[in-house]
Structure 1
């Protein structure tokens, strides 16, 4: 869904101008054309904010997997709008398609990490939590390759390129319905014991699922209610105050780190460094390859190092590189600026690109998780839109010093994680909540909530256990 639109910016602007000439007899001046194209770019983030606000309602009603299956229709609608926009001579179709694509992305970027975080065993939760960021980087890299002039990078191919979003979605629609729903959603929210055991057996075919069900039940006992908390309820709940502050800081910091500004101005920086214009497209593909490699490195070391080192190290390295860009622009050392651009992209992809979505799942229990993703997603997209709108004016007013703003943001987020956020590696959701309990001033209340009776009890009768319901016993044999 994250196709790099800038690869075809000149062709899309030419299409807009030609369409207006055909409609009105006169084309658009540079100011109006820039405004029209900026709307095309920014409407994606607006759609993302709208989608993120829908997450809580959708995952509560349809489940995690159910939501992902249902929203695939948005991709086909968006692909049709963008793919046939030139045929119908309608720039508005591109804008509508971009908005719908943004809505889908806003939902997916919250639901996918939530789903993976809930189906993963605790020792692999970090690995699976960063997998989406790898595939995002891989998708952008593939799009950069397809956007080369030798492939689809010609003017006549841009509608086809924009409609390519339907291809990975077709594979998802063919495969995802065969996967079980999140066991935590089935047990804690739906109280469907049989479906929970079936799903866990599917995901853990050779593992003893008894301990994992008991851990889910412990989480259920620790909650005063299994009802999903609203966003307002989340913000008012002082038992999760510091968890909420944490997701606010890391999600805003992820976008205000300057990564979007770097991606948007990469071609200009490469051109200023003396790279010939025809060769810039290949240099851009090289940065895409670095993104994929850095994402893979983060994915494979997160369970060894933990979440904190990747966040602290990633933001710190990005901050240093942002300061490096300022110095390189001041002293006209363009090759250093290229190295700093590559460093910012690598530092972002190795940790800050994926860990915020992962820890949003880890910091909250089942009842608070959908609302937490709604808040995190909305702030993420709002920050994305803000930086895209404000950065050109910031660059005009501050010049080379504008990157020092990103330096300050990166260092502030790294410091916050270092002093406030505990390590969540290999911890259960209940253990993570208890780690924040003292800081939230809720230690005694947390302990008392753990004693709340639960309607579901697991009798240790065999490898998979026997589920002892309040109104009877149902055995599940190996």
Structure 2
């Protein structure tokens, strides 16, 4: 049993390490090779990681499983932060940025469904789940060759206006693309040189949006969603749900995120990013408070178990409304082409590191705090809501160049105030 626990921990660790590396290099690869070719190239680690993981069973080699999980993590890191970017480049509408998070939820539902004992969640069938990791790679390998490159990549990186026009006409299915082409040309002129890591931290007009992007990724990881999902099974059991039915209840909870993601597509551009961050985050704080009270009073008042179930569903819905998708959209929206690759890489790294910290520390903290664990997340969410209110700008219906100019103007004003005080 100890050997299995160690192997499970190692599989998780190498997967996260692969994800960190993949997310860190994806921005650089995308700017050098293009979004389309990067996703096609990622088919290699996606397919090979799945095959190696699957082969470990027949080779009787745990080492192969570790290698396969590392390569799969590398692929996931590349996919997870490139998909919001390419969706944003293909569709000017910011609402389409929610598609990435929605399809991640779809993947979670499908994998949970297939992992049930009535399907593949048994000893002689679980390796099939590993080989299914090759599906995204196969899909990208056989579909992206027929798609054009990102018009913004062709305009800003390749300086090929004609190909950018052709790609944009193909995507929009119309001839009148004048406004979008003019906006791309303006961004291309103002993008500046590719930024080094040191410049990202030295230049205030880059440092402020970078901190916002990193903070949103950390907030997403430390929002308490992990604790909610961890507690869901025990809460369902306490409410009288049969043991065999709990897996279906958890599947239903995951399905809620898919439905919410679909609903959010038309609302993202109508309500804006700030409202869809601040509103749900305030609701999440209230839900965590009620859930903490319900968990500590469930032995005295049986109806508190049902209130706990309601809190779980409400919390998952609120999370899916904003924090599930917006943190991955913001790096694409607040940076010009020049520094965008570095910003995406750093945001991806922050996401994987913070997720790893939560995964490693959660059970230890939960064992010490029991039902009071949500108090920690309440404090984190209150501080996070204040940060979002004070620092995160609205990007709805704004071009890349307008948002970048906004940060640059704010930087100049701040520097002017500092010089005045010093004088």
Common fold, TM-score beyond 0.5? yes
Closer, same or farther: CA 263–81 of 1 in aligned 2, 3 Å = farther
Match of 2:327 among 356, 360, 375: 356
The answer (yes or no) to whether the contact 2:27–2:82 under 8 Å persists in 1 is: no
Match of 2:279 among 299, 313, 316: 313
1:464 maps to none
Q: Is the 8 A contact 1:78 1:96 kept in 2?
A: yes
Matched, 1:419 2:390: yes
TM-superposed deviation, 1:180: 0.9
Q: SS in structure 2 opposite 1:132?
A: helix
In structure 2, the residue matched to 1:206 is 174
Match of residue 108 from structure 2: 140
Whether 1:271 and 2:237 are equivalent positions in the alignment is yes
Could you list the runs of 5+ residues in structure 1 that have no partner in the other structure?
A: 1-27, 446-478
Partner residue, 1:130: 98
User: Which residue of 220, 237, 240 maps to 2:188?
Assistant: 220
Q: How far apart are 1:97 and its partner, in Å?
A: 2.0
Counterpart of 1:322 (choices 278, 285, 288) is 288
Selected match of 1:401 from 369, 372, 379? 372
Pick which of 41-50 and 126-135 moved more.
41-50
Quick check: 426-435 or 381-390, which moved more? 426-435
1:474 equivalent in structure 2: none
- Give 1:152 deviation, angstroms: 2.0
Which entry has the higher C-alpha Rg, 1 or 2? 1
Q: Does 1:157 align with 2:125?
A: yes
Q: Distance in 2 between matches of 1:322 and 1:39?
A: 32
Are positions 1:75 and 2:41 aligned together?
Answer: no
Give 1 or 2: higher helix fraction: 2
- Equivalent residue number for residue 242 of structure 1: 208
Matched, 1:115 2:86: yes
**C-alpha distance in 1, partners of 2:253/2:6?**
28
Whether the aligned pair in 1 keeps the contact of 2:334 and 2:400 (CA below 8 Å) is: yes
Using the TM superposition, give the Cα deviation of residue 346 of structure 1 relative to its aligned residue in structure 2, in angstroms. 1.4
Distance in 2 of aligned mates of 1:343 and 1:38: 31
Of 257, 265, 273, the match for 2:223: 257
CA contact (8 A) 1:49 1:106 kept: yes
User: Are 1:369 and 2:321 matched, yes or no?
Assistant: no
Which range moved further: 375-384 or 335-344? 335-344
1:58 corresponds, among 19, 29, 32, to: 29
Provide Cα deviations, 1:136-185, integer angstroms capped at 9, x if missing partner: 11111112222233222322110001211222432222111111111111
Aligned to 1:172: 140
CA contact (8 A) 2:40 2:141 kept: yes
Q: How many residue pairs were aligned? A: 411
Q: Which moved more, 1:146-155 or 1:175-184?
A: 146-155
**Equivalent pair of 1:200/1:209 in contact (CA under 8 Å):** yes
Q: Quote how far apart the aligned CAs of 1:441 are.
A: 2.4
CA distance in 1, matches of 2:412, 2:374: 38
Q: Could you say which residue in structure 2 is the equivalent of 1:25?
A: none
- State the Cα distance separating 1:85 from its structure 2 match: 2.0
Quote the Cα distance in structure 2 between the aligned partners of 1:274 and 1:86: 38
Q: Is the 8 A contact 1:248 1:379 kept in 2?
A: yes
Aligned CA RMSD, in angstroms, stands at 2.0
Give the SS at the match of 2:85.
helix
Deviation of residue 96 (structure 1)? 2.2
Give the direction of change, closer, same or farther, for the CA distance of 1:323–1:38 in structure 2 (3 Å limit): farther
Secondary structure of the equivalent of 2:58?
coil
Matched-pair contact (CA < 8 Å) for 2:95–2:266: yes
The Cα shift of 1:237 comes to 1.8
Alignment TM-score, normalising by the size of structure 1 = 0.82
TM-score by length of 2: 0.92
What whole-Å deviation, never above 9, does each CA across 1:109-161 have from its counterpart, x for those lacking one? Answer: 1111112222222xx1x221110111111111112222233222322110001
2:194 and 2:339 map into 1 onto residues whose CA distance is 6
